[in-house]
Amino acid sequence: MKRTHAIIIGAGIAGPTMALFLKKAGITAAIYEAYGDLSDIGGPLNIAPNGMHILHALGLAQQVMDHGAVIDTNTFLNAKGKCIASFVNADARKFGFATVSIPRAELHRILVDAAQEQGIPIHYGKKLKNIRDREGQPVIAAFEDGTTAAGDLLIGADGINSFTRSLVLPESPSPEFTGVIGIGGFTDASAAEGSGLLAPNVMYMSFGPGEFFGFSRICPGNASAIGWWVNLPVDREVPKEEIRNVSLEKMKADLLIRFKGWHAPVENIIRNTNTLMMHNIQDLHNVRRWHKGRVILIGDAAHAMAPHAGQGASTSMEDAMLLAKLLRDPHGNYGQVFEDFQLARQDRVSSIIEQARKYGNSKKILSPVAVAFRDLFMRVFMRLFGPRLNARVYAYRIHWNE
């Protein structure tokens, strides 16, 4: 009997995860990535307990923990360093895993290495040009270089600006700018020495009148690396050309002005960072259909969320696991499998997108009175409900053998 073969467009986080679960389901796959090597792309990334369970199902959870920092506590501060609230957010005793903070490039490397070890081909420089899906024939992906790929189905895992989505579902909404830009990077942990804010298991999040600064260790144990990120409200989306051309010195100078007088070690972390990444924070919601014919979208291609909830990578990996599980026995009816998949996922990811937007709104410019009210609200709310705030999201499980 002929084995099912899937074409996967995109080799970020969702694509290799999808291929690994398809392999587990007895389905072959090949991954096609528009760009070259992606190994050095991205800043700090958090994998929540629900995402760690997905990696555990692939046998990769321990490897990820070995290369990241296990974070179970959230500490909220104001710009002067006064603690607003601190609580255990991701209790491994309750959820099976804590959150792991890891460079995105490191998670990507782990997934790609696992895919290659299992013989899953990854083709780089394959920019999608067209998709042909005709009844009774294989799905054909045509690439800009003149080559093609054939399969029984095609999975678009090509991110928030998915070309797969634009080809197959052109009526879908476009990504929406949330009014906030993100800047982040890595530095040596020595930049935080003497601040009292360097616990290996704590994520520190500081809120000002119109700025947000977050940081944590990014490597296991006491390894000397910090990952940090900034959210800044802006009046307009920053043009891509401007992002490409802005210098490190200009970004650092602007950040030091915005964060002048903040508690230690904020300014020192900025000064001691040698590489910065900037991006417009967008999301993608209300995509009514994630599939057409034998083509389906997963991850950010279907439901991109702002990073404020820390669930983008985790929900993309959830998509991959559930879709592969449903594809184990499709009876040739991919349309029904895709309908079942979207029905099972849409409410969950939509609620997280909305949650992330609310978190992002708390980082926008506020008056002194509004800042005082926000800090008081956070102090009371977080102390009462903080440990339960994400419990439902973290407790989500996909049982492969059921």
User: How much is the pLDDT for 221?
Assistant: 57
Check if the beta carbon of residue 228 is closer than 8 Å to that of residue 269: yes
Burial of 196 (0-12, 13-18, 19+ CB in 10 A): exposed
Distance CA 159, CA 252 (A): 28
- 14-24 vs 49-57: helix crossing angle, rounded to 10: 40
The encoded tokens of residue 19 equal 């291929």
User: How much is the pLDDT for 219?
Assistant: 82
**Single-letter amino acid, residue 202:** V
Check if the beta carbon of residue 132 is closer than 8 Å to that of residue 275: no
| Each residue's pLDDT expressed in tens, for the chain with a length of 402 residues | 578 999 999 999 999 999 999 999 999 999 999 998 776 778 999 999 999 999 999 999 999 999 999 999 999 999 999 999 999 999 999 999 999 999 999 999 999 999 999 999 999 999 999 999 999 999 999 999 999 999 999 999 999 999 999 999 999 999 999 999 999 999 999 999 999 998 999 999 999 999 999 999 998 655 679 999 999 999 999 999 999 999 999 999 999 999 999 999 999 999 999 999 999 999 999 999 999 999 999 999 999 999 999 999 999 999 999 999 999 986 668 999 999 999 999 999 999 999 999 998 888 888 899 999 999 999 999 888 888 889 999 999 999 998
Residues whose CB is less than 8 angstroms from the CB of residue 351 and which lie 6 or more positions away in sequence, other chains included: none
Domain boundaries, the chain: 5-175+284-394
Distance CA 92, CA 72 (A): 8
Phi, psi of 212 (to 5 degrees): -135, 140
Per-residue b or e along 275-309, where b marks 16 or more CB atoms closer than 10 Å to that residue's CB: ebbbebbbbbbebebbbbbbbbbbbbbbbbbbbbb
Distance CA 41, CA 44 (A): 10
Distance CA 29, CA 21 (A): 10
The encoded tokens of residue 350 equal 């939509």
141: which strand partners? 131, 149
Distance CA 75, CA 57 (A): 30
**Single-letter amino acid, residue 20:** L
Residues 237, 242, 243, CA angle at the centre, nearest 5°?
80
Check if the beta carbon of residue 14 is closer than 8 Å to that of residue 127: no
**Of residues 355, 98, 285, the one with CA closest to residue 203:** 98
- CATH architecture of the domain 5-175+284-394 equals 3-Layer(bba) Sandwich (3.50)
Burial of 374 (0-12, 13-18, 19+ CB in 10 A): middle
The encoded tokens of residue 347 equal 């409410």
User: How much is the pLDDT for 173?
Assistant: 97
Residues whose CB is less than 8 angstroms from the CB of residue 67 and which lie 6 or more positions away in sequence, other chains included: 102, 106, 110, 219, 220
| Model confidence, pTM | 0.96
**Of residues 179, 167, 151, the one with CA closest to residue 8:** 151
Check if the beta carbon of residue 68 is closer than 8 Å to that of residue 47: yes
Check if the beta carbon of residue 98 is closer than 8 Å to that of residue 61: no
Residues whose CB is less than 8 angstroms from the CB of residue 349 and which lie 6 or more positions away in sequence, other chains included: 302, 303, 305, 315
